[in-house]
Amino acid sequence: MTQVNTVMGLMPDESGSKSTFSNDILRLEIAGPKEDHLSVIDIPGIFKRTTPGVTTKSDMEMVERMVHGYMKNPRSVILTVVPANVDIATQEILEKAEEVDPDGIRTLGVLTKPDIIDKGAEKNVIDLVEGRKHQLKLGWHVLRNAGQAELDNPVTDRDATERSFFAGQSPWNSLDKEKVGIASFRDRLQEILADHIRREFPKVKSEVTKKLTSCQQNLQALGVKRQTPTEQSRYLTEIAMEFQKLSAEALSSNYGRADVFDTNPTLRFATAVVNRSDLMSDAIATKGHTFHFESSDMGNGSENYHGFNDGGLEALDVAAIKLDDNGPAGTIEVRQIQDHSELGDLVHAPEKLPEPQGGSIHLWLKEVYRGARGFELGTLNSSLLAVTMKRQSMKWKSLALGYIADIIIMLAHTFVTDLLRVVCPVERVQLGVMSMLADLLVERYRSAIAHVNFLLEIELDGTPATLNHYFNENLEKCRQRRMHARMESKVLSDCRHGEVVRLDDIMQNHPMSNADHAIQDLHDILHSYYKVARKRFVDTLRMQAADYFLITGSKTPLTLFSPAFVAGMTPGQLEEVAGEDLTIKRRRVQLEKEQKDLEDGKKILS
């Protein structure tokens, strides 16, 4: 008991003062094959006066809260223990019992110390026991406990002394034997408990089931148990499998397979990529050239060809031409997706490009030609196509790098993070997985960007070449449209055979200088090759840099987080990424114990 008092804080401190009461509970458990499922709670008696050096006002309030807390429990039977030598009407405990048990179905009165009642006062106690005063539904019971002298005597038989008292002492021997003594009290208490259990049993069973369900739900809310490397690996593997499954459905546009595609539109990755690729293709087709060619429509064979000045280029003031690389005010946005700070140094920065310049391509070609002409007659310097192609397609670099940057942003910080958030609701695990994937993701992003630069180097710095027969077809169409444009003004308007031009008009000599012919051919060759190269570049940019390196290839960023990746993690990495926090571990242990206790209780109740 000295150790108990120390633990409960009831031993004197350094100043010599000590607490008399404690909120802690001293629990003595007696277990055995013949023991009943019964708890007897001995709580202090309520008092209204403090004793200096022993009790305080806070002790008084603590005891009252403690007593009331146990009494209001509907599962408890209240034993109101009152000395027989006091006035019952002054006992506050009876008033409190009536408050918490107004029907009196769980309150049994117990009278003690009948052996010290003054002569003549026994009648009041007899009236209580026989129900003539202060009636209780369960009645009153009288016990004669051992006094201090009897407790100090080791040979004292408490039960024998009590039986002798109630059998030989008047007026106690006149009372019903079922209302006096410890033996009958034990039987009476068993009857009361049995009746009370029968009343409360359905409620107890229902409450245990309800608490068990709540406990199981709380355990489920903690997520899958992940305290050992095996549990952590299994947990991450299941997440990775779900990640790969939803990734495959997103890439194949099977959005009806899971509700997450409705609640998280950013997971419709295939649609986003296709839409962004269309924007890239349109931008390069309509805005990717530096100068407008001399046809208003570069996409089909119905261009309105304007032709060169028939008076020759010599009449133009070439010295007055100033070609500004920056062009007019920028109107072409190379990026469509907002940057993320994590990838700001990796991807191409947002940029505006100038609109293509109109009406000056022949001036630019003349300047290029005059700066590279040699001794050739009737032919072009072979380097002119490469020089003009590089300048004409110089905006491809920004448009291509802006496109691949948007695909990377959509992939890394929209699709991957949003999908990981869906398949793994635990924020710590999300951050842990992303931390492990970060360097590997960046490595694959760099590979995609490097491939874009490789394609750009081929198209912009390499030697122009193609095996595509459309180059010759386009070149022939350019020349035919040029001839058609020149003959339009010579068509006979009154001919009934349709559009007819006289042979003399066709053969009419239109003298042009060698330079004019060369620049005219250069324009048509550049125009024809640009069409073929543009379509080739757009396709390879989409199929190789975007699709193969980032989306559908065998080593794309989407393939990183997989069961194989989890299998390669060390125990330390598993703990760091998927291990439970200490608070969750403690909470899980507590809930598992509570669950086991409730399951055991449910078996007993069954």
Q: Per-residue pLDDT tens for 492-517?
A: 767 766 677 667 666 665 556 667 77
Phi then psi dihedrals of residue 579, to 5 deg: -65, 150
Q: Which residue is it, tokens 């180097």?
A: 457
Domain boundaries for CATH 3.40.50.300 within the chain: 35-198
- Look at residue 605 and tell me whether its pLDDT is greater than 90: no
Phi-psi region of 378 (alpha: psi -120 to 50; beta: other; left: phi over 0): left
- Look at residue 285 and tell me whether its pLDDT is greater than 90: yes
Please tell me the predicted confidence (pLDDT) of residue 559: 93
The alpha helices in 541-581, defined as continuous H runs, are 563-567, 571-578
- Look at residue 293 and tell me whether its pLDDT is greater than 80: yes
How large is the average pLDDT for residues 359-381?
Answer: 77
- Give the residue, 34 or 420, on which the prediction is more confident: 420
Tokens for 193?
């408990």
| Percent of the residues in the chain that have a pLDDT greater than 70, as a whole number | 88
Phi then psi dihedrals of residue 112, to 5 deg: -120, 170
Mapped onto helix, strand or coil, the DSSP state of residue 518 is helix
Tokens for 510?
């239109």
Residues 391-422, buried b or exposed e (16+ Cβ, 10 A)? Answer: bbbebbbbbbbbbbbbbbbbbbbbbbbebbeb
| Contact of 179 with 142, CB cutoff 8 Å | yes
CA 161 to CA 166: how far, in whole Å? 9
Average pLDDT, the chain: 84
Tokens for 265?
């539109």
Please tell me the predicted confidence (pLDDT) of residue 507: 62
Q: Which residue is it, tokens 């004019």?
A: 516
Q: What is the pLDDT of residues 400-446, one digit of tens each?
A: 999 999 999 988 778 999 999 999 888 889 999 999 999 999 999 99
Sheet with 78-83, side-by-side order of all strands: 78-83, 107-112, 140-142
| Number of neighbouring beta carbons within 10 Å of residue 457 | 11
- Look at residue 320 and tell me whether its pLDDT is greater than 60: no
Residues 191-206, buried b or exposed e (16+ Cβ, 10 A)? Answer: ebeeebeeeeeeeeee
Q: What is the pLDDT of residues 135-166, one digit of tens each?
A: 889 999 999 998 888 888 888 888 999 999 99
- Look at residue 271 and tell me whether its pLDDT is greater than 80: yes
Please tell me the predicted confidence (pLDDT) of residue 468: 84
Mapped onto helix, strand or coil, the DSSP state of residue 379 is coil
Largest CA distance in the chain: 159
Phi then psi dihedrals of residue 83, to 5 deg: -60, 140
Please tell me the predicted confidence (pLDDT) of residue 365: 87
- Look at residue 380 and tell me whether its pLDDT is greater than 80: no
Decide: pTM greater than 0.75. Answer: no
Residues 527-545, buried b or exposed e (16+ Cβ, 10 A)? Answer: bbbbbbbbeebbebbbebb
| Contact of 267 with 422, CB cutoff 8 Å | yes
Lowest-pLDDT choice from 21-25, 44-48, 289-293, 565-569? 44-48
Give 107's strand partners: 78
Cis previous bond, 171, omega within 30? yes
Q: What is the pLDDT of residues 74-93, one digit of tens each?
A: 888 999 998 988 888 778 88
Q: Which residue is it, tokens 């012919």?
A: 517
CA 270 to CA 119: how far, in whole Å? 100
Q: Which residue is it, tokens 């947990």?
A: 235
Confidence band for 518, pLDDT divided at 50, 70 and 90: confident
CA 22 to CA 2: how far, in whole Å? 15
CA 312 to CA 511: how far, in whole Å? 9
CA 603 to CA 606: how far, in whole Å? 5
CA 379 vs. chain centroid, Å, equals: 67
- Look at residue 15 and tell me whether its pLDDT is greater than 70: no
Identify the CATH number of the domain defined by range 35-198: 3.40.50.300
Sign of the alpha-carbon dihedral angle for 392, 395, 401, 405:
negative
How large is the average pLDDT for residues 336-359?
Answer: 82
Q: What is the pLDDT of residues 108-124, one digit of tens each?
A: 999 999 988 888 788 88
- Look at residue 455 and tell me whether its pLDDT is greater than 90: yes
Please tell me the predicted confidence (pLDDT) of residue 323: 35
Confidence band for 340, pLDDT divided at 50, 70 and 90: confident
How large is the average pLDDT for residues 379-401?
Answer: 89
Please tell me the predicted confidence (pLDDT) of residue 304: 36
- Look at residue 315 and tell me whether its pLDDT is greater than 50: no
Please tell me the predicted confidence (pLDDT) of residue 222: 83
One-letter amino acid at 544 equals: Q
| Contact of 504 with 305, CB cutoff 8 Å | no
Tokens for 31?
């277990």
Tokens for 309?
């000045």
| Percent of the residues in the chain that have a pLDDT greater than 90, as a whole number | 38
